[in-house]
Amino acid sequence: MSASAVSISHLSKDFRVGMRGVKLRAVDGVSLEIEKNQIFGLLGPNGSGKSTVMKLLLGLLEPTAGQCAIFGIGSHDIASRKEVGFLPEAPYFHKFLTGTELVEYYAKLCAMPRSKIAERTREVLAWVGLENAAARKVGTYSKGMLQRIGVAQALVHDPQLLVLDEPTAGVDPIGFERMATLLMELKRAGKTIFLCSHLLAQVETLCDRIAIMDRGKLVIEGAVDVLLDVQQQERIVVENVSAAVARQIRVLVEQQGGSVVHSEAVRLSLDALFLQHVHASVQSTEHDKAQW
Amino acid sequence: MVTVRHNRVFTIALYTFREAVRQRFLSVLLVLALGFIGSATFFLQFNFGGSELKFIADFGWGVMFLFGSIVAIVTPSHLFFSEIEHRTAMTLLAKPLPRSTFLLGKLVGVVLLLAMFTALLVSLLLAILAWRASTMADFEAVQSAGQMTLSYAGCALMGMLQFLKLSLLSAITLFICSFSKTNLYAVILGFFVMLVCQLQYLARDHWGAIDFLPLRYAVLIVSKVFPNLQLFNVGEALLFRTVVPMPLRLVGSIGLYGLLYIVFFYLMAVWSFRKREI
């Protein structure tokens, strides 16, 4: 049986804080499995331990207890990171480098064959929509562009697992839509994506499975559809019906033993309204590809 | 524990060098150091005679050590903590990149910077010495009598020893950074250790004269562990060759001493950094 992409078992992490070295338990007995070719969301409020779990998985921190493995290789082993691309929260990169130089730098650090670096760099920059800004210094990039160049450096060595820490934090709805499209393309290409976020509504549409953390503990985990479905309730949206017809529908439901729980005029979400108007105007300008 | 990937070391070193040369304080220090050495041309007014060249040389080595030690300590500390604070260390170490390779790349990058720094200062010092020697009538007489010669090769050798000394300071600073929590602490401790290393010869020569046993053994440990930076101060012997010049074998020994200590402190940094939480 092939290994899961990510396997975390009874993971705990304590930090010592203050002069007296009081222990703060940031992660408390977390266990989860992420299968290959999934988009897995680790969700939770600020300070719930999501980023700490990611750092433990990547070997940036030592666990107090428990184990993590990537494609069956323990996180303490450098080899486990060969198939991992990581985007940290609010990424910062050396401002004096151009986009191309930055991605090539990380490609060299991943020991990519030198003959393939230039071509692969162009490929990933095109994939994230930064081919027109590749020659500009990273210090001139907007926040959205920094997120995209961060994804590019994470993808350059063609890893099978992407670990993204708050990939949509501080990004506007258009930027989120583009990030979401990119992540879906990566999933179709066979990649596994492990992301964490505290913006729950944003990632609801992206993830196949989610886990929610609170105060270091895993409180729930499962497939998004299963967790979010409200049992024995159905939403039916109708249009062009009069009040009389609506009353008849209500009576029919009650005759069949059901009840109408809620009825209201359908509203667009604010995100949808924003995208309808702003996205359309942005598409008509020359700056669409270069700016987020 | 120590895994080094040569290509990646040079990749990190090159980018570290590029980042380091952009630091404003480096430009200021370089200009000040060049200015101070250049000001030796004004010593002409004081007319020290034959000893003036020695004074210029000592002044030059002193300026090189003063400003060079600031570069050697502040630069690696700033670059290291910049990676930590901006979290670029996370993106780097999340790659299949051994921590030993990361540290070595940082050290080599700083060493490249120090090589450039000392080369510029030594070049200027050489130029001033050559110019001053050519204008001093009594020095020509001394040289003609074979009593003393100004050795430009010796000056270059002394420059290399100063470069090694400064690289050693950087290796020590990198070790300090590997366990320090803040940039300021690393810099202060770095300068303190530099002072200890400058006075190490006192510990070596006088530890046996201390009556208080714990202090005696503490001083003994200091004399064994910390390098003696005074060993590198052989400028006069190299620069002004007398009838019996300084053997090159001795210069080689001093160089090897410096290299061994650089390797020692690099390995200490690797050991300390291996479990550091990023």
A226-280 pLDDT, tens digit each = 777 766 677 787 888 888 888 888 888 889 888 888 777 777 777 677 667 666 5
Q: Residue A89 is part of which domain span?
A: 4-228
Mean residue pLDDT across chain A: 86
Find the mean pLDDT for residues A118-123. 95
Same structural domain, A95 and A179: yes
* Size of the A and B interface in Cβ pairs below 8 Å: 76
Same structural domain, A224 and A241: no
What's the token pair of residue B195?
A: 């002072």
Same structural domain, A75 and A204: yes
Measured in degrees and rounded to the nearest 5, phi and psi for residue A21 equal: 65, 35
Which residues partner with A221 through β-bridges? A211
* Helix extents (H) in A110-229: 114-127, 143-155, 173-188, 200-204, 224-228
Same structural domain, A88 and A224: yes
Same structural domain, A163 and A292: no
By Cβ distance, the residue of B7, B11, B94 closest to A81 is B94
Which of A109, A137, A138, A156 would best serve as a mutation to test chain B binding (most B beta carbons within 10 A)? A109
> What is the pLDDT at residue B96?
92
The domains of chain B are located at 2-274
What's the token pair of residue A46?
A: 């600020």
Alpha-carbon distance A234 to A72, whole Å?
A: 41
Q: A67 or A170: which carries more pLDDT confidence?
A: A67
Same structural domain, A46 and A180: yes
Alpha-carbon distance A87 to A90, whole Å?
A: 9
Find the mean pLDDT for residues A126-137. 92
B278 contacts A109? CB cut-off 8 A:
no
Q: A147 or B245: which carries more pLDDT confidence?
A: A147
A82 contacts B277? CB cut-off 8 A:
no
Alpha-carbon distance B78 to A104, whole Å?
A: 24
Find the mean pLDDT for residues A19-43. 90
Same structural domain, A193 and A245: no
Give the CA-trace dihedral at A221, A223, A224, A228, to 10 degrees. Answer: -80
> What is the pLDDT at residue A279?
60
Q: A131 or A266: which carries more pLDDT confidence?
A: A131
CA-based nearest distance B34→chain A, Å: 27
Which residues partner with A43 through β-bridges? A197, A212
> What is the pLDDT at residue A120?
95
Same structural domain, A214 and A246: no
Which residues partner with A86 through β-bridges? A163
Q: Which residues of B touch A55 (CB under 8 A)?
A: 90, 278
The reply to whether A13 touches chain B by the CB within 8 Å rule is no
Eight-state DSSP code of residue A14? E
Q: Which residues of B touch A79 (CB under 8 A)?
A: 96
Q: Which of B74, B84, B80, B85 is nearest to B104 (CA)?
A: B80
Under a CB-based contact definition with an 8 Å cutoff, are residues B234 and B251 in contact?
yes
B95 contacts A163? CB cut-off 8 A:
no
* CB proximity under 8 Å: A 109-168 to B: 109-111, 150, 153, 157, 163
Q: How confident is the model at residue A81 (pLDDT cuts 50, 70, 90)?
A: very high
Radius of gyration, alpha carbons of chain B: 21
Question: Of the residues A212, A228, A244, which one is the last residue of a structural domain?
Answer: A228
Q: A80-119 in b/e burial notation, b at 16+ Cβ within 10 A?
A: bbbbbbbbbbebbbbeebbbbbbbbbbbbbbbbeeeebee
Question: Of the residues A204, A228, A252, which one is the last residue of a structural domain?
Answer: A228
ipTM of the complex: 0.83
Which of B95, B99, B270, B277 would best serve as a mutation to test chain A binding (most A beta carbons within 10 A)? B95
Q: By a Cβ cutoff of 8 Å, what residues of chain B touch chain A?
A: 3, 5, 7-8, 11-12, 15, 18-19, 22, 86-88, 90-98, 275, 277-278
What DSSP element (H or E) covers A41? strand A39-43
Alpha-carbon distance A152 to A148, whole Å?
A: 6
Same structural domain, A48 and A192: yes
Q: Which residues of A touch B278 (CB under 8 A)?
A: 55, 60-61
Contacts of B96 (CB under 8 A, 6+ apart): A78, A79, A81, A82, A110, A111
> What is the pLDDT at residue B5?
62
Same structural domain, A115 and A14: yes
> What is the pLDDT at residue B47?
57
The reply to whether A79 touches chain B by the CB within 8 Å rule is yes
> What is the pLDDT at residue A283?
54
What's the token pair of residue A225?
A: 């559809």
Burial of B240 (0-12, 13-18, 19+ CB in 10 A): buried
Q: Which residues of A touch B15 (CB under 8 A)?
A: 94, 97, 105
B96 contacts A108? CB cut-off 8 A:
no
The reply to whether A108 touches chain B by the CB within 8 Å rule is yes
Same structural domain, A92 and A175: yes
Q: CA-nearest residue of chain B to A109? A: B8
CA-based nearest distance A6→chain B, Å: 15
Q: How confident is the model at residue A286 (pLDDT cuts 50, 70, 90)?
A: very low
Q: Could you tell me what percent of chain A has a pLDDT over 70?
A: 90
Neighbours of B260 (CB within 10 A): 12
Question: Percentages helix, strand, coil for chain A, rounded to the nearest 5?
Answer: 35, 25, 40
Q: Which residues of A touch B98 (CB under 8 A)?
A: 78
Q: Into how many domains does chain A fold?
A: 2
Which residues partner with A34 through β-bridges? A6
- Strands A39-43 and A209-214, how do they pair? parallel
Q: Which residues of A touch B8 (CB under 8 A)?
A: 108-109, 111
Same structural domain, A189 and A209: yes
Whether the pLDDT of residue A1 is over 80: the answer is: no
Eight-state DSSP code of residue A208? S
Question: Of the residues A228, A252, A280, which one is the last residue of a structural domain?
Answer: A228
Give the CATH number, domain containing residue A190: 3.40.50.300
Whether the pLDDT of residue A292 is over 50: the answer is: no
What's the token pair of residue B80?
A: 């290291």
Threshold 0.90, pTM exceeds: no
Low-confidence ranges of chain B (pLDDT < 70): 1-6, 43-50, 137-148, 241-245
